Amino acid sequence: MSLLGIGLQSLRASQGALSVVGQNIANVNTEGYSRQIANLTTHAEQKGVQVSHVQRVTDDFLTRQQWADTANYNRTDIYATMASQLDNLLGDASTSISTGVDNFFNAMQNAVDDPTSIPNRELLVAEADALAKRFNSLDDYLARQNSEVNNRLESMTEQVNSLSSNIAEVNDKIRIAVVAGRPASELQDQRDELVKELSELVDVTVVDQNTGEQTVFIGNGQPLVVGQSANTLQAALGDPDESQFGVSIMQAGREIDITNELSSGQIGGMLSYRDEVLNPARDELGRIAMAISESMNELHQTGIDLNGEFGSLMFTDINSGQLMADRISAKEQNLSNLDTARVEITDLSKLQATEYELIFNTRTSLTLERASDGKTYTLDSLTQVTNKDDVTDGTYFADFTTGELVLEVDGMKMTLDAQGTFVEGDRFLIQPVRNGAAEIENQIKDGKLLALGSPIRVSSGEDNAGTGEASVSITDIHAPGFSTQGELKPPVEIVFNNSTPLTYTIMDMTDPAAPVPLDQGFGPRENIAFTAGEAIEIDGYEISIVNKPQAGDRFAFEYNTDGISDNRIALALSNLQQADVLAGGSYQEIYGAMVEKVGSTTAVAKINTEAQKAVLDSTNNTKASIVGVNMDEEAAKLVQFQQAYQASAQIIRASQTLFDSLLSSI
């Protein structure tokens, strides 16, 4: 090749290299730009130089690591942010349930001290109302957080769809460029940046194709982008709990639920927060509210108010027909047609703060799975009874030919009655405590209606010589003995006999002039061996006598007429503050444990966020050091190729001089 040709080729190569350097410098601040290198190659036999290709500097491993780290950081960041909001609310004295419980029981203590005081009674009514409203308000906040998750899911799925559509469009442009043999470095940078934005929302897996295109998968391998086409995500109503949105992907006209497959990115972080923090906190709050309602109601209904009438409900009846029905819901595709579906709370001490899923594996077999720990119950693990009225904890009654099922576990009794038989594959969601805090309401509006006194008056005989002390507790206010308002039928008297060992007789005092041994259908109750503290059961109530009575001692039990100064039920209600009503402790101990759990979860989430941020920054810095534009390096190359360009011009000038000399010599 002539000297002129070599010079021209060198000039073009230097000009091309300068263009690449200029492109790098121009895009030094462009997000996601990968620097480019002009690769020069020589022609054999001294035929000059050329730019063989422009290389895009990239590191596939670091790029994919950046996507993964971005997804993990965004998951922990949104998780920690939402958990921190809840933690601050639960611990705030102005909204804390523990503060409300303290205020309520302080007012209760005032009523214990003087049950005849109307102001004390009205204060107790006010604090009961305030406590219920505190539960309502706190649950309302948790419900708003749940709505916020739903709204964000809708917004984020739309962002995912926009990004996936753009990725598919860029895929097509890259495919066309590859086929035409044109460089596609900027398009590849644009696509990598789009995938990085996508990884902020959801975890991604990317597979390169021979055509230069990429296939993007999310979840457990669900294709989001395939070549030039993109599937769409949507936030869908939960099934059967419509209050909790899920995420589904549309593929070939089919909607596939992938909610449980999304674990990273902001979407995965919100779903994890809802499942791991929000729902458990709401369940625990509901369990505490239901425990207060039921334990208070149970005792309050055994007392008498200032009018001498039995107490009514103090708080909401947790086993009203509507509330029992609301605790169970069927999947949309279920085929069983139910006449009855309800969940009754039977034992607070066994009640769990979680939800359950009931699955009919076949028409005659089922699995009940507890969400909190994954524990499963099958019919084989329970005891069958032949009468549905005999079902207790750990037992069940089933007649699958008529579609009847009654099953009791964890302090709740599930009753399902289908028209015909149950259908294989049917699923039911059971939420025994989820709405407990929203449903609690104060039912007493007048302090005079507070039933703080016991309906039974206990009197010791004037001539008692022993140290015996008698007390009474109500076991069934609906028993025949309380059937007539203002009366105890029959009034009774326990008389200790002159015998060794000491015995007693329960006397029916309907006719005080002619008392007879009590006979409630099981024979006269006389000459019974006495054991201190042993429960003496009578129709609707239970008597306990402690210490050492002597022969001839008497204890009378009659209706507590005009017992307005009696505070025995108020005292029993007050003692509930320290009682282990629920498994794990008292109301406030359970609430404190919940607050502590949310707090520790929040602290761990914040630490994880900081750690993930450090990992992401490290990955970003490492990648930037490899693929990013270094201005010092580019400036040196600029000088290098500028000088090469000038030298190439000198080669051309020398060639022209030689040519002119040759012409002049002819």
Tell me the CB-side half-sphere exposure of residue 641, using CA atoms within 13 A: 22
pLDDT above 70 (res 443): yes
Find, among 185, 101, 191, the residue nearest to 138 by Cα. 101
Instruction: Give the long-range contacts of residues 254-258, CB within 8 A, separation 24 or more.
Output: 256/222, 258/218, 258/219, 258/220, 258/222
pLDDT above 60 (res 1): no
Give CA torsion, residues 534, 535, 536, 537, to 10 deg: -160
Specify whether the CB–CB gap between 421 and 437 falls below 8 A. no
Percent of the chain exceeding pLDDT 70 equals: 100
Count H helices and E strands in the chain, helices first.
12, 28
Residue 14 pLDDT: 78
Q: Mean pLDDT for the chain?
A: 92
Distance CA 418, CA 341 (A): 9
pLDDT digits (tens, 9 = 90+) for 29-83: 888 888 888 888 887 767 788 877 778 888 889 999 999 999 999 999 999 999 9
pLDDT above 70 (res 649): yes
Distance CA 445, CA 103 (A): 18
Residue 639 — pLDDT band, cuts 50, 70, 90?
A: confident
Q: What are phi and psi of 494, to 5 degrees?
A: -95, 120
Distance CA 407, CA 426 (A): 17
Q: What are phi and psi of 289, to 5 degrees?
A: -60, -40
Residue 606 pLDDT: 96
CA distances from 562 to 121, 304, 309 (A): 17, 10, 10
Higher-pLDDT residue of 228 and 664 is 228
Specify whether the CB–CB gap between 72 and 611 falls below 8 A. no
User: In the numeric block, which tokens belong to residue 658?
Assistant: 């030689």
Of how many residues is the chain composed? 666
- Give pTM, 2 decimals: 0.89
**Is residue 656 helix, strand or coil?**
helix
pLDDT digits (tens, 9 = 90+) for 135-185: 999 999 999 999 999 999 999 999 999 999 999 999 999 999 988 888 888
Distance CA 302, CA 471 (A): 14
CA atoms 55, 59, 63, 66: torsion sign: negative
The segment with the largest mean pLDDT, out of 181-190, 392-401, 640-649, is: 392-401
pLDDT digits (tens, 9 = 90+) for 342-373: 999 999 999 999 999 999 999 999 999 999 99
pLDDT above 90 (res 258): yes
Question: What average pLDDT does this structure show over 256-284?
Answer: 96
Residue 418 — pLDDT band, cuts 50, 70, 90?
A: very high
Residue 509 pLDDT: 94
pLDDT digits (tens, 9 = 90+) for 307-334: 989 999 999 999 999 999 999 999 999 9
Residue 117 pLDDT: 95
Instruction: Give the long-range contacts of residues 252-260, CB within 8 A, separation 24 or more.
Output: 256/222, 258/218, 258/219, 258/220, 258/222
User: In the numeric block, which tokens belong to residue 486?
Assistant: 């203002």
Q: Where are the beta strands (DSSP E) in 231-277?
A: 232-236, 246-251, 254-257
Which residues, listed in sequence order, are joined to residue 557 by a DSSP beta bridge?
458, 492
pLDDT digits (tens, 9 = 90+) for 99-148: 999 999 999 999 999 999 999 999 999 999 999 999 999 999 999 999 99
Report CA Rg, the chain: 40
Of 21-35, 54-68, 568-582, 591-605, the least confident: 21-35
Give CA torsion, residues 198, 201, 207, 208, to 10 deg: 10
Residue 650 pLDDT: 84
Percentage helix, strand, coil for the chain under 3-state DSSP, each rounded to 5: 45, 20, 35
